[in-house]
Amino acid sequence: MKKIYLLLLTLITVTAYAGNPDRQGEAGASELLFNPWARSAGLHSMTTSSVTGVEAMRLNVAGIGRIENTEFSFGTARLYEGSDLNFNAFGFAKKVGENGAFAITMASVDFGDIQITTTDQPEGIGGTYSPRFFHFGLGYSHTYANKISVGVLVRGVFESITDVSASGFAIDAGVQYVSGDNDEFKLGISLRNVGSPMAFEGEGLSFQTITDDGTPITLEQRSANLEMPSALNIGVSYDFAFGAESTLRALGNFTSNAFSRDQIGGGLEFIFMDNYALRGGYKLDFGSSSGAGDNIYTGVAAGASANFKASESVNFGIDYAYRTTNPFKGSHNLTLRIGF
């Protein structure tokens, strides 16, 4: 138990080093902040205290352990409507023993086909290319006395185009605590994307020049290191029961970003018969700014879910979410889930 309290204290202490809008744009692998999962996206990714299963690997890895047995999820997000960017993900989570659970996640950004241009031919040379951004993560969560869950996740990050690439790794850690006769109170803390710096390298950074004596040589430029976009999340939620079949969940969340403004927000989720849910939230940037460090995801988010029983042991679920963005025209999320 002392180790759990020490981890909580460590995560909270990190808040003092985050929330720096002057560093906006200096981090690498910003796609680590994308959320492909619709249930949490419908609440603006503020479900730090209550997220469970596969989705927990994106927000608070401690929630992996709160699945019943096995879960598969397939998620896609149409990012920033009008940009033609899509973020696709697959995840698998399974209970191990009575108190443990492990999970695997894979995600990639689909940029589509981008036209190749040069300074001499700015309208294109007739060819296309597509960057490849890919993540692979492995996480584990353990639950103590059915009240406190802790988890850790290691994620490999790979980015490349035709002749330039970069790679690195990031670590997530999280804690969830539940209390009450029916576990109605929930507290969650997660520290995300703490890892190695990334630097691009490859033939694309080489260039040819001529020395003073006329000898042609090839030189390689060195890319500056890019840090991971680390973030600390602290969230709470409380479930209000309405009869035996309806629950209203109220939640609040604070996010401290190392490379942009901090954010704060809240939301409501109405769950009926454990099969249907409606949710919505509002998130805003915290503190004053000139605008340079503003986050894209602010304002309103909303979503819905439906679950269906295929048999006594197999469940199917579908989730949808919409989030406002500034600028662009919002993001759409769709998730398919299978539980055993």
- pLDDT tens per residue across span 214-244: 888 888 888 888 899 999 999 999 999 988 8
Cis peptide before 21 (omega within 30 of 0): no
Confidence of residue 300 (pLDDT cuts 50, 70, 90): very high
Tokens representing residue 224 in the block: 């500056």
Residue 262 has pLDDT above 60, yes or no: yes
pLDDT class of 21 with cuts at 50, 70, 90: low
- Judge whether 169 and 210 are in contact, CB under 8 Å: no
The CATH class of 2-339 is mainly beta
Q: Which of 206, 208, 115, 131 is nearest to 165 (CA)?
A: 131
Cβ count near 208 (within 10 Å): 8
Give the single-character DSSP code of 183. S
**Whose CA is closest to 40, among 184, 249, 315, 272?**
249
pLDDT recorded at residue 103:
97
Distances 229 to 26, 86, 226, 336 between C-alpha atoms, Å: 9, 20, 9, 28
Give just the sign of the alpha carbon dihedral 225, 226, 228, 230: positive
Domain map of the chain by residue range?
2-339
Return d(Cα 310, Cα 39) in angstroms, integer: 21
Amino acid at 76: T
Would you tell me how many other CB atoms lie within 10 Å of the CB of residue 284?
Answer: 12
Confidence of residue 294 (pLDDT cuts 50, 70, 90): confident
| Total-model pTM | 0.88
On whether the CB atoms of residues 283 and 261 are closer than 8 A, the answer is no
pLDDT band at 68 (very low <50, low <70, confident <90, very high): confident
Q: Among the listed ranges 6-10, 251-255, 274-278, which one has the minimum average pLDDT value?
A: 6-10
